[in-house]
Amino acid sequence: MSELILAFESSCDETSVAVIEDGTTIRSNIIATQINSHKRFGGVVPEVASRHHVEQITEVIDLALKEAKVTYADLTAVAVTYGPGLVGSLMIGVTAAKTVAFAHHLPLIPVNHMAGHIYAARFVQPLVYPLLALVVSGGHTELVTVNHPGEFAIIGDTRDDAAGEAYDKIGRVLGIPYPAGKEVDRLAHLGQDTFHFPRAMVDSDDLDFSFSGLKSAFINTVHHADQIGETLSREDLAASFQAAVVDVLVAKTMAALDLHPVGQLVLAGGVAANQGLRTALAQALAAKHPDVTLIVPPVRLTGDNAAMIGAAAHIELAHGHLADESLTATPGLNFSRAAQPVAATEDVAAKAPLTTAAPHHPEPTAPQFRDPRDPLPGLRDGQGVVLPKPGPVRQRK
């Protein structure tokens, strides 16, 4: 009999429920996005997100079961993202998953959202370990080694803004609504790298990233031009910004591959939809690591979705990593950092043993928002945004 996992994802602004068969087949993957509601605020408003999740979760569950042509009685287990993410949003998915598990006597599988992004690659082809993942989303920019199924260790991380966050913030300056990544990517293909923005930390002796200096350089350039009445090419600005982001992401990923020999590189997270990044990574791999296979999930699986949570849950279930009704939303959940700092200048792969994933029943942490470095808590781009009063929210199909 097939293994059927009912998976929940509600960490940010997408309410999603999927039915995944044997960890590899998507029987259904319903995604109710809230983007239209958050657009006018220039970022995700946590309170609004939670309300949408509450309103939509039952309908999304029903649709997922219906499309998969299964009933609760057919299910093997229930899986849910329990972090990282917005606490109120996570709580809705966790509560719904616990309720289904309890009511139908099903095992409950807690899943790290970032593990989900990486395991979206499992829908493309079987994974071979050890592998390296470049995870680039709105909240994270990480290089992660996966030495064995479900065993993750961070070897490179952003010191400030995530790449997706930088896209959204500079997009706002260009008048592009949230989330701006896709449109900046489109514009970038119409322009040239004429501004030569800084490639921060590209030569540093580690695998870390920094994007806030680039973001500031971009914003200052645009504001300065505004002040002197000069009109800049939006296409060239976008192309220059994208070239700086992509150059650094690709350089650090190649450095990570020099240190950690693997057979596969997984590009994951919302920014993995970026055409410039996909192309540049493929070219760099062909030139520098031709034996490494690049796995990039289809665009519909790079953004937040529950299918990827079901794929990661399949691995957790095989390891017997289950939760009970005490499972709570853990907004600050993260993979462990590799035990020793990784210097990009020497081969320390053998010296730096990789730590295992975070405990599956961590102590509840103090609520954190998606990016604690944001000026206003909880908003990815908080500048000048006023939290809305509760009011009627729109229902979307």
Residues forming contacts to ligand KG4 in the complex (CB under 6 A) are 12, 137-139, 164, 167-168, 179-182, 185, 269-271, 273-274, 303-304
Q: Which of 279, 371, 295, 373 is nearest to 331 (CA)?
A: 371
User: Nearest approach, Cβ of 288 to ligand KG4 (angstroms)?
Assistant: 23
With CB under 5 to 8 Å by kind, the binding choice for 294 among ligand KG4, Zn ion, none is none
Q: In whole angstroms, how close is the CB of 378 to ligand KG4 at the nearest point? A: 14
Which lies closer to ligand KG4 via its Cβ, residue 107 or residue 378?
378
What sign for the dihedral angle of Cα 374, 380, 384, 387? negative
Give the one entry of Zn ion, ligand KG4, none that residue 15 binds, where binding means its C-beta sits below a cut-off of 5 to 8 angstroms depending on kind: none
Please, how many CA atoms are within 13 Å of residue 216, restricted to the half-sphere of its CB?
A: 7
Q: 131-136 and 264-268: which strand pairing?
A: parallel
Whether the CB-CB separation of 217 and 306 falls below 8 Å is answered with no
The distance of closest approach from Cβ of residue 186 to ligand KG4 in the complex, given in angstroms and rounded to an integer, is 8
- Strand pairing partners for 336? 153
User: Which one of ligand KG4, Zn ion, none is in contact with 179 (Cβ closer than 5 to 8 A by kind)?
Assistant: ligand KG4
Query: Which residue number has the CB closest to ligand KG4?
Result: 270
Cβ closer to Zn ion: 137 or 253?
A: 137
CB atoms within 10 A of CB 348: 16
* Whole-angstrom distance, CA of residue 211 vs CA of residue 234: 20
Alpha-carbon span 172 to 39, nearest angstrom: 10
Here the tokens at position 44 are 């995700």
Nearer to Zn ion, 86 or 342 (CB): 86
First-to-last C-alpha distance (Å) of the chain? 33
379 binds, among ligand KG4, Zn ion, none (CB under 5 to 8 A by kind): none
Q: Quick one: 23 or 269, whose CB is closer to ligand KG4? A: 269
Shortest CB 348 distance to ligand KG4, Å: 30
Angstrom CA distances, 252 to 96, 220, 334, 379, stand at: 39, 26, 20, 28
Task: Name the nearest CA neighbour of 201 among 268, 125, 129, 255.
Answer: 255
Nearer Cβ to ligand KG4, position 270 or 310? 270
Q: Identity (one letter) of the amino acid at 273?
A: A
Residue 34: name its binding partner from ligand KG4, Zn ion, none (Cβ under 5 to 8 Å by kind). Answer: none
Give the C-alpha separation, 175 to 182, whole Å: 13
Nearer to ligand KG4, 189 or 351 (CB): 189
Give least dist CB 117 to Zn ion, A.
6
- Please, what is the minimum distance in Å from the beta carbon of residue 298 to Zn ion? 15
Residue 107 interface partner, choices Zn ion, ligand KG4, none, CB cut-off 5-8 Å depending on type: none
Which residues lie near Zn ion (CB under 5 A)? Answer: 137, 304
- The one-character DSSP state at 204 is S
| Partner interacting with residue 180 (select from ligand KG4, Zn ion, none; CB below 5-8 Å by kind) | ligand KG4
CB closer to ligand KG4, 101 vs 280? 280
Residue 164 interaction partner, one of Zn ion, ligand KG4, none, beta carbon < 5-8 Å per kind: ligand KG4
Residue 10 to residue 27: CA distance in whole angstroms: 19
Q: Minimum distance between the CB of residue 184 and ligand KG4, rounded to whole angstroms?
A: 6
Q: Which two tokens stand for residue 272?
A: 């993995």
Q: How far is the CB of 12 from Zn ion (least distance, A)?
A: 6
Minimum distance, C-beta of residue 138 to Zn ion, in the bound complex (Å) = 7
Cβ proximity to Zn ion: between 191 and 303 the closer is 303
280 binds, among ligand KG4, Zn ion, none (CB under 5 to 8 A by kind): none
Beta carbons within 10 angstroms of residue 96's beta carbon: 23
Cis before 130 (ω within 30) = yes
Q: Which is nearer to ligand KG4, 77 or 200 (CB)?
A: 200
Are 294 and 322 a contacting pair, CB within 8 Å? no
5, 342 Cβ separation under 8 angstroms:
no
